[in-house]
């Protein structure tokens, strides 16, 4: 009876995961979708603890250990998720993702140890099963170490690091892990099997580190999304090993969804996935054109306030600088002040502005900026010609004209916001330092452009003050 109930619970859980993802595709139902999947997950977890039966018919043991781990994990999870700032959201997702990968790896390790203790009986350790175990270890470990590096990089703890021939070493590392896995599987009874297994384990960990280290700047969202899909696949390996269809379904679902999301992101940047993975971005920086350097022009707060107040239409281009300064509320205030003066204000959102796709939407939503004011890239590019002032808040690479004009630039080919079509461009930045991708931006030296240096929040507050006094 219990087993039938569990089967039913698993089927319902799998449906909630699919429904959840589907409801996530509409802002109106997204939150409910998240909860639906969450409830499905909790039910399936409880069902597993109390109703799961081993092949010999016995129930699961060690409940104290299981509930201990769940209690501690829940507290840590809720605490971390509630504490994290909106700006640090991408790092947090990356970190959670890495932990999921580690969990999947551990399952494969335990299963391997289990088989090793039994002396690898032929019926239980077929080539297929071993392949799944190795896939679980390799994918899980790449997810774990890669996500930790991505987390470190996004939070500024780890710097870009690339050396000559790194791609070749990466390929050798990955190839070695696969080759060794095949070698081990070919003769499981060999005395070195267990040691070699842990070498595969280590190779995958090191590969994960070297795989993410050289990838910098604008490609980080793609990497996190890719690692997310890998963690799904490593989870699916765990589901396969225990013939657990809900784990398998959930894992594959995330693997497929993550892959599509990765591809969508690559498309948004007009880069191929191979290019992202092979070509280290911002690590070398030799190609970054510095030819266009010259004089940049500054604008005073007062002048900026005047230009914007007397404009018909102002488009705001938010970037990571806005997120770092936590200036979204002040930005919304500026928008309201300008609208009182009869200025039409909209936001131009580049799909990869910030550190993750949709990062800016989330941030502006937090400040109650209404939906219809957010323009996607294509819509915005149609409106720039009729725009009087473009206010760029801490965005850089997504407005860099080098993406269109300089074939040598690492971001060449990425669609950008054509801010230069507008009459005036006001750029708020903290300094003239290049952006996250480490590329010089010619836009800052153009005659139409004026610079407004300072922390986004401070500058916006001062701008609001100036506008009120006009």
Query: CB of residue 18 vs other proteins: minimum separation in angstroms?
Result: 6
Query: CB of residue 123 vs other proteins: minimum separation in angstroms?
Result: 11
Query: CB of residue 371 vs other proteins: minimum separation in angstroms?
Result: 7
Whose Cβ is closer to other proteins: residue 241's or residue 325's? 241
**Helix (H), strand (E), coil (C) string for the chain:** CHHHHHHHHHHHHHHHHHHHHHHCCCCCCHHHHHHHHHHHHHHHHHHHHHHCECCCCCECCCHHHHHHHHHHHHHHHHHHHHHCCHHHHHHHHHHHHHHHHHHHHHHHHHHHHHHHHCCCCCCCCCHHHHHHHHHHHHHHHHHHHHHHHHHHHHCCCCCCCCCCCHHHHHHHHHHHHHHHHHHHHHCCCCCCHHHHHHHHHHHHHHHHHHHHCCCCHHHHHHHHHHHHHHHHHHHHHHHHHCCCHHHHHHHHHHHHHHHHHHHHHHHHCCCCHHHHHHCCCCCCCCCCCCCCCCCCCECCHHHHHHHHHCCCEEEEEECHHHHHCCCHHHHHHHHHHHHHCCCEEEEEECCCCCCCCCHHHHHHHHCCCCHHHEEEHHHHHHHHHHCCEEEEECCCHHHCCHHHHCCCCCCCCCCCCCHHHCCEEEEEECCCCCCCCCCCCHHHHCCCEEEEECCHHHHHHHHHHHHHHC
124 binds other proteins (CB under 8 A): no
Of residues 219, 397, 406, 418, which has the active-site annotation? 397
Applying the rule CB under 8 A, the residues between 245 and 264 that interact with other proteins are 245-261, 264
Among 11, 12, 15, 34, binds other proteins (CB under 8 A): 34
Whose Cβ is closer to other proteins: residue 72's or residue 432's? 72
Judged by CB under 8 A, the stretch of 26-34, 170-178, 307-315, 397-405 that binds other proteins is 26-34
Among 3, 80, 182, 470, binds other proteins (CB under 8 A): 80
Whose Cβ is closer to other proteins: residue 63's or residue 468's? 63
78 binds other proteins (CB under 8 A): yes
141 binds other proteins (CB under 8 A): no
448 binds other proteins (CB under 8 A): no
Q: Are 337 and 412 in contact (CB under 8 A)?
A: no
Contacts with other proteins by CB under 8 A: the residue count is 115
Query: CB of residue 442 vs other proteins: minimum separation in angstroms?
Result: 27
110 binds other proteins (CB under 8 A): yes
24 binds other proteins (CB under 8 A): yes
The DSSP line for 199-253 is HHHHHHHHHHHHHHTT--GGGHHHHHHHHHHHHHHHHHHHHHHTT-HHHHHHHHH
Query: CB of residue 358 vs other proteins: minimum separation in angstroms?
Result: 4
Query: CB of residue 198 vs other proteins: minimum separation in angstroms?
Result: 13
Whose Cβ is closer to other proteins: residue 86's or residue 306's? 86
Judged by CB under 8 A, the stretch of 120-128, 203-211, 392-400, 439-447 that binds other proteins is 120-128
Q: Which positions from 356 to 395 touch other proteins by CB under 8 A, shown as an x/- string? A: xxxx-xx--xx-xxxx--x-x-------------------
Distance (Å, whole) CA 217 – CA 331: 25
Query: CB of residue 182 vs other proteins: minimum separation in angstroms?
Result: 13
Whose Cβ is closer to other proteins: residue 124's or residue 171's? 124
Query: CB of residue 407 vs other proteins: minimum separation in angstroms?
Result: 27
Among 69, 190, 192, 195, binds other proteins (CB under 8 A): 69
397 is catalytic: yes
Whose Cβ is closer to other proteins: residue 251's or residue 283's? 251
Applying the rule CB under 8 A, the residues between 203 and 242 that interact with other proteins are 224-225, 228, 231-232, 234-236, 238-242
Task: Please state, as a whole number, how many other Cβ atoms lie within 10 Å of the Cβ of residue 82.
Answer: 7
Judged by CB under 8 A, the stretch of 125-133, 152-160, 171-179, 390-398 that binds other proteins is 125-133
Applying the rule CB under 8 A, the residues between 403 and 432 that interact with other proteins are none
Among 87, 170, 244, 387, binds other proteins (CB under 8 A): 244
Applying the rule CB under 8 A, the residues between 311 and 340 that interact with other proteins are none
Distance (Å, whole) CA 358 – CA 385: 25
Applying the rule CB under 8 A, the residues between 290 and 309 that interact with other proteins are none
Q: What are phi and psi of 232, to 5 degrees?
A: -65, -45
142 binds other proteins (CB under 8 A): no
Catalytic annotation, residues: 397
């Amino acid at each position: 009876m219990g087993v039938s109930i569990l089967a039913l619970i698993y089927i319902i859980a799998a449906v909630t995961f699919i429904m959840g993802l589907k409801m996530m595709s509409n802002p109106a139902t997204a939150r409910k979708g998240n909860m639906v999947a969450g409830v499905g997950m909790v039910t399936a977890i409880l069902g597993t603890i109390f109703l799961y039966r081993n092949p010999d018919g016995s129930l699961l043991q060690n409940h104290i250990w299981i509930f201990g781990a769940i209690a501690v994990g829940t507290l840590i999870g809720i605490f971390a998720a509630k504490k994290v700032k909106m700006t640090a959201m991408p790092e947090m997702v990356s970190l959670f993702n890495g932990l999921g990968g580690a969990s999947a790896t551990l399952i494969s390790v335990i299963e391997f140890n289990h088989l090793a203790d039994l002396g690898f009986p032929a019926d239980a350790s077929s080539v297929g099963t071993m392949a799944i175990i190795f896939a679980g270890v390799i994918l899980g470990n790449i997810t774990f170490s890669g996500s930790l590096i991505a987390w470190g990089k996004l939070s500024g703890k780890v710097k870009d690091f690339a050396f000559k021939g790194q791609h070749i070493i990466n390929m050798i590392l990955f190839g070695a892990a696969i080759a060794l896995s095949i070698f081990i599987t070919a003769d499981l009874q060999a005395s070195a099997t267990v040691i070699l297994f842990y070498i595969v384990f280590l190779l995958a960990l090191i590969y994960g580190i070297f795989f993410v280290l050289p990838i910098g700047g604008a490609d980080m969202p793609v990497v996190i999304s890719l690692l997310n899909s890998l963690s799904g696949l490593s989870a699916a390996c765990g589901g396969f090993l225990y013939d657990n269809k809900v784990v398998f379904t959930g894992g594959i679902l995330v693997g497929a969804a993550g892959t599509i999301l990765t591809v969508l992101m690559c498309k948004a940047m007009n880069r191929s996935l191979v290019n992202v993975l092979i070509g280290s971005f911002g690590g070398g920086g030799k190609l970054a054109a510095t030819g266009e350097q010259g004089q940049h022009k500054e604008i005073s707060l007062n002048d900026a306030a005047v230009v914007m107040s007397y404009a018909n239409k102002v488009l705001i281009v938010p970037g990571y600088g806005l997120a770092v300064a936590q200036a979204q509320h002040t930005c919304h205030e500026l928008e309201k002040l300008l609208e009182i003066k009869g200025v039409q204000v909209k936001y131009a959102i580049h799909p990869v502005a910030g550190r993750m796709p949709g990062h800016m939407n989330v941030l502006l939503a937090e400040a109650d900026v209404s939906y219809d004011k957010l323009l996607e890239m294509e819509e915005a590019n149609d409106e720039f010609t009729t725009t009087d002032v473009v206010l760029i808040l801490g965005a850089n690479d997504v407005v860099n004209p080098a993406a269109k004009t300089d074939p040598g630039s690492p971001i060449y080919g990425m669609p950008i916001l054509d801010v230069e079509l507008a009459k005036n461009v006001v750029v708020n930045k903290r300094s003239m330092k290049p952006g996250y991708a480490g590329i010089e931006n010619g836009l800052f030296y153009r005659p139409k452009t004026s610079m407004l240096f300072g922390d986004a929040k401070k500058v916006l507050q001062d701008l609001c003050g100036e506008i009120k006094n006009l």
